Amino acid sequence: MFGLKSNKSKAWKKLEQEYKRMKKVEMRALFAADKKRAQKYTLHQNGLTLDYSKNCIDDKVMSALLGLAKERGVAQKIKDMFEGKEINFTENRSVLHIALRNRGKSQIFSDGKDVMPQIREVLNKMKNFSEAVRLGKFKGATGKKLTDIVNIGIGGSDLGPFMVCEALKKYWAKGIRCHFISNIDGTACAEVLGGLNPETTLFIVASKTFTTIETLTNAKTCRKWLIDSLGEHAVAKHFVALSTNKTEVKKFGINPENMFEFWDFVGGRYSVWSAIGLIVCIAVGFENFEKLLDGAFDMDEHFRKAAPESNMPLILALLGVWYNNFYNIHRYAVIPYDQYLQYLPSYLQQLDMESNGKSVDKENNFVKCATGPVLFGGAGTNVQHSFFQLLHQGTEPVPVDFVVPAISHNEIGEHHSILLSNVLAQGEALMKGKTIAEAAEELRKAGKSKKEVDALKKYKSFTGNRPSNTLLFKKIDPFALGQLIALYEHKVFVQGIIWNINSFDQMGVELGKQLALNILPELQGKVLNAKHDSSTMALIKEVKSLRR
């Protein structure tokens, strides 16, 4: 199934022809032939710059890619999303994370109902509560100010707020500290709780159904920790819920007035703009949270209105399709050159791989082309000394997105200038490479003998012609971060349209959970002789033996 070409549409066949023409073309030659190449393939949107000139493309390729987007009906699908159509077709739902950051006055409908009044109501509730915590008006059970905020969630209820809080750490209120518990591993709870004072700790339990096993297990452990110190009456003063299950929230001991709602038309990995962002509001203030929404709304408007050839998310998506489906490169890296953005690749892994890691299309057929690529990354310059060896001299190219703020929040000496010189050099090096002849000449100039030159010149050469995009902005602030996240959200959406899959369900995570529920009672000795494969049975037996 995988690796085969998609249905041979006219646009797809055109791109196959373009690939045959381009597969041996060097980017060096493209730059040499067109002095305005960088200018031609650079886009700007309200402080955000995308330079995509270092790709194996020319005007004919871009025309063919845009033709594919037109053939696949991308423009109509974008319109459908903004109009609240049920584009999540396996779950019969609208997809309206864009409504969460709608800063205009327009109505947005789902199931014939304008969702904006309820969204604004929850936002106002988030504003009032976050300000009350920050100002010390909402106090703990003993009357002390709540200074340590613990978000208990998993998946999108953890990765989004965690990444955003870390990215905006420079904006945290003085005296406020943020912590995150997601992993069911008891170590996650133990390490966070070990450094906290129950009297000054606020827990945010993020679970739409309030039944998520990882989240509720961790929440119950935190609840016991609090009760052991302050008594059961303290729960209502130290726990709030991000949920829709009022019955279970109340049963837990949380005051329903401190329950913040979000909706089925928002998937977990798209939910940081909702009540899931409550910890962000407390950390950076609601005004900065609104700026985050403003940045996302700016990108939404650009995505919705920009011409295809100037549309940043569309262009990024099409470049990904170009490499994934025609160059057969099924991986790519995102490298932020800013320490505050070190968790951006982890966030984007879920956004991209959970959204487009699918193998059945809209017509209920197995897809005939590769879909979601493997995404990895890390903060530059750290990763230059880990996996960049493979990027430069490995046998298979890896397209890269470099994410670069021109100004650091911490301009210490020459640090940021050196950092910037590194990221710009990496893009150039990946594109240009170094020929064997150039490597030989360099070795000769270094005084090496002919024998040494012949022995080393291939090792010192780089094939180059390795694609990258550079996303450049002034500084990591809430607005720029909002733009950046929304840009990647829409990129993933467009690729799902091209591949004719549903980017908004995540059924692939369910099977393992189901089997885990079967295995748990066996590990606990409550069930014997369950039917598994021989490997799983043997491992269950071995685990039980070791735990005894």
DSSP helix/strand/coil, 138 = coil
Our answer to whether residue 513 is catalytic in this structure is yes
3-state helix, strand, coil in the chain (%, to 5): 55, 10, 35
Nearest to 493 by CA among 361, 356, 327: 356
Predicted local confidence at residue 7, as pLDDT: 58
Neighbours of 301 (CB within 10 A): 18
CA distance 385 to 534: 42
Q: Which amino acid does the sequence have at 37?
A: R
Our answer to whether residue 354 is catalytic in this structure is yes
CA distance 151 to 149: 7
Q: Which of 20, 113, 450, 513 is catalytic?
A: 513
Q: Which of 354, 358, 416, 457 is catalytic?
A: 354
List of the chain residues with pLDDT < 50: 1-6
Predicted local confidence at residue 1, as pLDDT: 32
Torsion of CA 4, 9, 14, 18, to 10 degrees: -20
Q: What are phi and psi of 334, to 5 degrees?
A: -120, 120
CA distance 221 to 271: 25
Predicted local confidence at residue 509, as pLDDT: 87
DSSP helix/strand/coil, 377 = strand
Our answer to whether residue 233 is catalytic in this structure is no
Q: Which of 10, 385, 445, 451 is catalytic?
A: 385
